[in-house]
């Protein structure tokens, strides 16, 4: 199924996939209490690419960690098709790429990718090696299967991390500033490559970023959060056609979206979009 058809079915079905209800999280207690997120109500649809943008410390990482059951919220609920994050994690619905590639330094790129199979008790043995090779080729690391992380650049490590996440065949891909530590030259390339890979797979993506350009370039929708405590300021539909090709950033439409987003992040009320 091509991305175009997929898009179509998303629009038709609009079946909520991840649902947030009154989600609030507070760290610590007493005087040390920090409210990281307040009152998040949100639906994310199957196969959607959703970015979460907001200033540092507004609770983006907290939000992702709650979805992935790495953190239990103090108030409110998250459901993944009626399942709790705990159940979803045990059903192995998640994959993740973090800002820190967090590869196992004693394993080669290929061995790092196959970690996802090894950790999965139900994965069957035969297809693994072929899948690993294929995945590494997909993320553009054809010649580096046997390289160790210390031999790879930051961008290449993130590619391995992406391949490792995809190896788990996740239905929901959690990405926490995955390209945040990359330079401005490598970064957009990684974005386009992520789009190309995502377009071939019906995967829901929750993508945390503090780059406006990245959010607009990649997403179907962008959730804009306020400074701490993080609250939803607005949800912006990005109606740029797909597949999104290189240099889309240069278009007027794109510039309008980034301007809108910049305004929202500065705390401005939303004005009707002049397009």
Ligand X SMILES: Nc1ncnc2c1ncn2[C@@H]1O[C@H](COP(=O)(O)OP(=O)(O)O)[C@@H](O)[C@H]1O
Q: Which is nearer to other proteins, 12 or 150 (CB)?
A: 150
Q: Which is nearer to other proteins, 103 or 260 (CB)?
A: 103
**Which residues lie closer than 8 Å to 143 by C-beta, 6 or more apart?**
none
Q: Which stretch binds other proteins (CB under 8 A): 25-33, 36-44, 63-71, 191-199?
A: 63-71
Q: Is 61 in the site for Mg ion (CB under 5 A)?
A: yes
H helix runs in the chain, sequence order: 3-13, 60-67, 85-90, 109-119, 128-138, 154-167, 186-199, 212-218, 252-266
Q: How many residues bind to other proteins according to rule CB under 8 A?
A: 38
**Which residues lie closer than 8 Å to 18 by C-beta, 6 or more apart?**
42, 43, 44, 67, 78, 79, 80, 172, 204, 206
Q: Is 68 in the site for other proteins (CB under 8 A)?
A: yes
- Residue 234, SS3 per DSSP: strand
Helices and strands: H and E segment counts in the chain: 9, 9
Q: Are 208 and 51 in contact (CB under 8 A)?
A: yes
104 binds, among ligand X, Mg ion, other proteins, none (CB under 5 to 8 A by kind): other proteins
**Per-residue string for binding with other proteins, 152-171, x by CB under 8 A?**
xx--x-----------x---
Smallest distance, Å, CB 231 to other proteins? 25
Smallest distance, Å, CB 146 to other proteins? 7
**Per-residue string for binding with other proteins, 135-154, x by CB under 8 A?**
--------x--xxxxxxxx-
Q: Is 204 in the site for Mg ion (CB under 5 A)?
A: no
Burial annotation 255-267 (CB, 10 A radius, 16+ → b, else e) = eebeebbeebbee
Token digits for 116? 């996802």
Distance (Å, rounded) from C-alpha 232 to C-alpha 252? 26
Smallest distance, Å, CB 105 to other proteins? 5
Q: Which is nearer to ligand X, 208 or 217 (CB)?
A: 208
Residues contributing to the site for ligand X (CB under 6 A) = 27-28, 34, 36, 54, 56-62, 228
Smallest distance, Å, CB 65 to other proteins? 8
Token digits for 183? 């330079």
Q: Is 119 in the site for other proteins (CB under 8 A)?
A: yes
**Which residues lie closer than 8 Å to 137 by C-beta, 6 or more apart?**
none
What is the footprint of other proteins within residues 73-92 (CB under 8 A)? 89-90, 92
Q: Is 114 in the site for other proteins (CB under 8 A)?
A: no
34 binds, among ligand X, Mg ion, other proteins, none (CB under 5 to 8 A by kind): ligand X
Residue with tokens 């035969």: 126
Task: Name the residues that contact other proteins, by CB under 8 A.
Answer: 65, 68-70, 89-90, 92, 94-96, 98, 100, 102-108, 111, 115-116, 118-121, 143, 146-153, 156, 168, 174
């Amino acid at each position: 199924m091509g991305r175009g058809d997929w898009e179509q079915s998303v629009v038709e079905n609009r079946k909520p996939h991840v649902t947030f209800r009154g989600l609030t999280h507070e760290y610590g207690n007493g005087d040390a209490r920090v409210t990281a997120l307040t009152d998040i109500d949100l639906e994310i649809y199957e196969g959607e690419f959703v970015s979460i943008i907001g200033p540092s410390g507004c609770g983006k990482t907290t939000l992702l960690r709650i979805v992935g059951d790495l953190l239990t919220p103090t108030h409110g609920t998250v459901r993944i098709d009626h399942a709790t994050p705990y159940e979803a994690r045990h059903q192995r619905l998640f994959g993740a790429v973090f800002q820190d590639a967090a590869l196992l330094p004693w394993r080669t790129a290929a061995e790092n990718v196959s970690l996802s199979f090894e950790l999965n008790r139900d994965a069957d043995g035969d297809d693994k090696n072929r899948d690993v090779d294929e995945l590494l080729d997909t993320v553009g690391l054809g010649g580096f299967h046997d390289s160790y992380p210390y031999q790879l650049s930051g961008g290449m490590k993130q590619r391995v991390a992406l391949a490792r996440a995809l190896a788990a065949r996740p239905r929901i891909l959690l990405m926490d500033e995955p390209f945040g530590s990359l330079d401005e030259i490598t970064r957009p390339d990684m974005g386009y490559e992520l789009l190309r890979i995502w377009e071939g797979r019906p995967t829901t993506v929750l993508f945390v970023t503090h780059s406006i350009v990245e959010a607009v370039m990649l997403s179907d929708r962008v959730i804009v959060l306020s400074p701490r405590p993080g609250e939803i300021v607005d949800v912006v539909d990005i109606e740029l056609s797909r597949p999104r090709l290189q240099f889309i950033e240069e278009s007027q439409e794109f510039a309008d979206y980034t301007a809108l987003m910049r305004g929202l992040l500065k705390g401005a009320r939303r004005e009707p979009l002049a397009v």
